[in-house]
């Protein structure tokens, strides 16, 4: 009767914990619409695929409960941190949608965001769908799996040191996130700024015009026209941000080489 290798079983268990932690916080993969059983199946399948990456290097199985708890805690922290680092690329898109929504006045009426469970405006939904389309167009789910495989090679299961995280990389990542949001929202912001200047000029020269009544639909129309004209550039920018930052941000923050 075949027996399970304790070291191989322990390796599989640690990778399963790491993968599960990543699925809890990784972009799109943590969507509430994905059933829990499907997420568990993904975690088990990914773990079975990634175990052979460590088969040539023995990982000593624990001998007491303290070692088990230490290994599990390390992998939980690593998996969740890995998913959150990948999420930074998507926060820039969400910030851009908030900026444009405020400029157009859509923030006055909110709807329920099914992804995050928070209140959002209509443009948030538009950019969320656009990000999903770009994500799967560039095979972003493959990038996430490859990133997870690279971390298994670079950081063996059970050896992650939370104090070795590169906290100095947080500031550049936050700066890049803000710049991404501004670059996406800049065309609409510039167009609406010029529209406000024009409406102010009209209000001073033709006082009979009700600027507050006429200005709102004009700003919405101008905003939508500029968004449509800038959509190819926006998609290209999202493509570059997701493909370059999805794996790069996580490796930079976690110190994975």
199-211: pLDDT as tens digits: 888 777 877 777 6
In a domain, 67, yes or no: yes
In a domain, 34, yes or no: yes
d(CA 101, CA 4): 56
What residues are paired with 111 via a beta bridge? 120
In a domain, 249, yes or no: yes
Compute the average pLDDT of residues 111-120. 56
> Is a pLDDT exceeding 80 seen at residue 190?
yes
Distance of CA 85 to the CA centre of its chain: 8
Q: What is the pLDDT of residue 103?
A: 75
Q: How confident is the model at residue 148 (pLDDT cuts 50, 70, 90)?
A: confident
User: Residue 83 — φ and ψ, nearest 5°?
Assistant: -65, -40
Better-scored residue on pLDDT, 124 or 246: 124
> Is a pLDDT exceeding 70 seen at residue 34?
yes
d(CA 115, CA 30): 9
Q: How confident is the model at residue 255 (pLDDT cuts 50, 70, 90)?
A: low
Which of 78-87, 212-221, 241-250 bottoms out in mean pLDDT, i.e. has the lowest?
241-250
Neighbours of 243 (CB within 10 A): 17
Helix (H) / strand (E) containing 111: strand 111-112
Q: What is the pLDDT of residue 131?
A: 77
Q: Which domain holds residue 227?
A: 6-254
In a domain, 1, yes or no: no
Q: How confident is the model at residue 1 (pLDDT cuts 50, 70, 90)?
A: very low
In a domain, 162, yes or no: yes
Sign of CA dihedral 257, 162, 79, 63: positive
Total count of domains within the chain: 1
Q: What is the pLDDT of residue 33?
A: 74
Q: Are 113 and 128 in contact (CB under 8 A)?
A: yes
Q: Are 83 and 247 in contact (CB under 8 A)?
A: no
Q: What is the pLDDT of residue 110?
A: 57
In a domain, 225, yes or no: yes
SS3 call for 120: strand
Over the range 208-232, which residues count as b (16 or more CB within 10 Å of their CB) and which as e?
Answer: eeebeeebeebbeebbeebbeebee
Q: What is the pLDDT of residues 45-87, one digit of tens each?
A: 888 888 777 665 657 777 778 888 888 888 888 888 887 777 7
Contacts of 92 (CB under 8 A, 6+ apart): 176, 177, 178, 180, 181, 184, 241
In a domain, 35, yes or no: yes
In a domain, 246, yes or no: yes
Compute the average pLDDT of residues 186-197. 85
């Amino acid at each position: 009767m075949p027996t399970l290798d304790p070291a191989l079983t322990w390796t599989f268990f640690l990778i399963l914990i790491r993968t599960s932690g990543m699925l809890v916080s990784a972009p799109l993969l943590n969507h509430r619409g994905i059933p829990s059983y499907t997420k568990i199946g993904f975690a088990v399948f990914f773990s079975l695929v990634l175990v052979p990456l460590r088969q040539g290097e023995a990982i000593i199985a624990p001998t007491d409960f303290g070692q088990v708890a230490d290994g599990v805690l390390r992998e939980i922290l690593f998996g969740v941190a890995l998913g959150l680092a990948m999420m930074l690329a998507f926060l820039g898109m969400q910030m851009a949608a908030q900026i444009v929504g405020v400029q157009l006045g859509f923030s006055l009426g909110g709807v329920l965001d099914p992804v995050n469970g928070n209140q959002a405006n209509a443009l948030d939904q538009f950019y969320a769908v656009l990000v999903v389309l770009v994500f799967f167009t560039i095979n972003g789910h493959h990038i996430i799996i490859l990133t997870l495989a690279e971390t298994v090679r670079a950081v063996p299961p059970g050896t992650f040191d939370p104090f070795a995280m590169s906290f100095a990389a947080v500031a550049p990542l936050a700066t890049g996130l803000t710049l991404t949001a501004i670059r996406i929202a800049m065309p609409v912001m510039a167009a609406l700024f010029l529209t406000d200047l024009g409406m102010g000029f009209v209000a001073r020269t033709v006082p009979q015009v009700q600027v507050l009544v006429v200005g709102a639909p004009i700003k919405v129309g101008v905003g939508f026209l500029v968004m449509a004209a800038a959509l190819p550039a926006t998609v290209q920018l999202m493509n570059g941000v997701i493909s370059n930052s999805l794996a790069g941000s996580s490796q930079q923050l976690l110190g994975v080489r």
